[in-house]
Structure 1
Amino acid sequence: MINKQKNIVILGASNKPGRYSYMALQRLKSNGYTIIPVHPKYKEIDGIAVVSRLQDIKDEIDTLTLYINPTLLLPMIEDIIKLSPRRVIFNPGTESLEIKTRLKISGIECMEACTLVLLSTGQF
């Protein structure tokens, strides 16, 4: 059984209902996960406090799910490695062989998948 007390970071969280990152936030929340949304422009999304950058996260992280363009992600590789999540989910459109390789070398599990599909099929 999955321990839903684990922290899940949504990098590129959005407050727009039509965005997949918003849908993932809602699904994770409704499934009882502890969510840490990351976005530089928001203070909160639906009552959940948003952190502006990865460096502001002090909690242990189980999963980091990505919703930003790989070109924007490149400067954050070292921050992700320092955060040391158990796994990183590359949602469609966020895939990057360079980033994935660097994270794997650092011992971080990487998967190309859709968070919404993983939740829907019980594989999250």
Structure 2
Amino acid sequence: MRVVVLGASDKPSRTSYEAVEMLMEYKHEISGPVDTVTVYLNKDRSWPLREAIKALQPRRVIFNPGSESEDLSAFLQEAGIEVTDFCTLLLLKYGTF
């Protein structure tokens, strides 16, 4: 499964860094056609990227805690993209990603 981490950080203390590490550990790919976009940006930073996210045509977008955006969620759902507010790390840890 190919995943894009929107807001990925190169700082080991950041949750998005841990998510990238876990995604690779669980053998998820980080390039190619996209199945999932997992968002770590706040709504003010993610909203301007709405068309780019839509253009990726992901199956789903996961809004991690603190990144939730009603406007972006509605925009993506209108485009036929599944959206959920949840923690990517927990989905990975519990095998439900």
Q: Shorter-normalised TM-score: what interval?
A: over 0.9
- Report the counterpart of residue 72 of structure 2 in structure 1: 99
Find 2:12's aligned residue among 10, 17, 25.
17
TM-score (normalizing by structure 2): 0.96
Work out the CA distance in 1 between the residues paired with 2:3 and 2:72.
Answer: 19
User: Partner of 2:62 in structure 1?
Assistant: 89
1:64-119 CA-to-partner distances (Å, cap 9, x unmatched) read 00011110111111111111100000000000111100100000000000000000
Runs of 4+ in 1 over 2 A off after TM superposition: none
Greater Rg by CA: 1
Q: For residues 20-68 of structure 1, give each alpha carbon's deviation from its aligned partner in whole angstroms, at most 9, with x where no partner exists.
A: 00000111111111014xxxxxxxxxxxxxxxxxxxxxx3100000011
Corresponding residue of 1:34: 29
Number of residue equivalences: 97
Higher strand share: 1
Distance 1:87 1:112 in 2: 11
Corresponding residue for residue 111 of structure 1:
84
| Long gaps (5+) in structure 2 | none
Q: SS in structure 2 opposite 1:35?
A: coil
When the two chains are superposed, the root-mean-square deviation of aligned CA atoms in Å is 0.8
Q: Which has the higher contact order (CA 8 A, sep 6+)?
A: 2
Name the one with the larger helix percent: 2
1-structure distance, mates of 2:94, 2:29: 19
Letter in 1 for 2:11: K
Q: Residue in 1 aligned with 2:37?
A: 64
Identity across the alignment (%): 45
